[in-house]
Amino acid sequence: MGFFSSCGKKRPLNGKQYTFILEDAGEKTWNVKYETQDIVTHTLGSTEKGKPAVIFTGVNSGKTNVTIYRCEEGKTVSDADNVYVITLEVDRRGNVTEPTPYYGEYRINCGNEISGAEWDIEYTKENVHCSEYTEHFDSEGDGMQSYNTIYAFTGRHPGAAHILVTTFLPWCDITNTIRDEWLYVDSKYRVSPLEMTGFQSLRLSIQDMRAGQNVYEAVNTGDGVKLSNYLALYSGSSDKEERRDEIAVEGDETLYRTVAGLLNECDVSSWDGFTGSDPDALDGSTFIFEATLIDGTTIYATGSNSFPEHYNDLISGLALALRSADANQGGTAAD
- Domain-wise residue ranges, the chain: 18-97, 106-193, 199-327
Residues 150 and 112: their CA atoms lie apart, in Å, by: 10
Per-residue pLDDT, averaged over 166-177, amounts to: 85
Of 104 and 305, more confident: 305
Are 207 and 231 spatial neighbours (Cβ–Cβ below 8 Å)? no
Instruction: Give the span between the Cα atoms of 88 and 41, in whole angstroms.
Output: 11
**pLDDT value at 181 more than 70:** yes
Q: Identify the band that residue 242 occupies on the pLDDT scale cut at 50, 70 and 90.
A: confident
The average pLDDT across 148-165 equals: 88
Topology match between the domains 106-193 and 199-327? no
Using one digit for the tens of pLDDT, what is the confidence trace for 182-234?
Answer: 999 998 888 999 999 999 999 999 988 777 889 999 999 999 999 999 998 87
Residue 6 has pLDDT above 60, yes or no: no
User: In CATH terms, is domain 18-97 a member of 2.60.40?
Assistant: yes
Percentage of the chain with pLDDT > 90? 43
CATH number at 199-327: 3.30.1560
pLDDT higher than threshold 90 for residue 90: yes
Distance CA 216, CA 226 (A): 11
Strand-pair partners of 304: 277, 286
What is the pLDDT averaged over residues 278-298?
87
Q: Which CATH fold topology does 106-193 show? A: Immunoglobulin-like (2.60.40)
Using one digit for the tens of pLDDT, what is the confidence trace for 243-270? 888 899 999 999 999 999 999 999 999 9
Terminal-residue alpha carbon distance, the chain? 46
pTM above 0.85, yes or no: no
In contact, 140 and 180? CB cutoff 8 Å: no
Across 53-78, average pLDDT: 88
Which residue(s) pair with 177 in the sheet?
A: 166
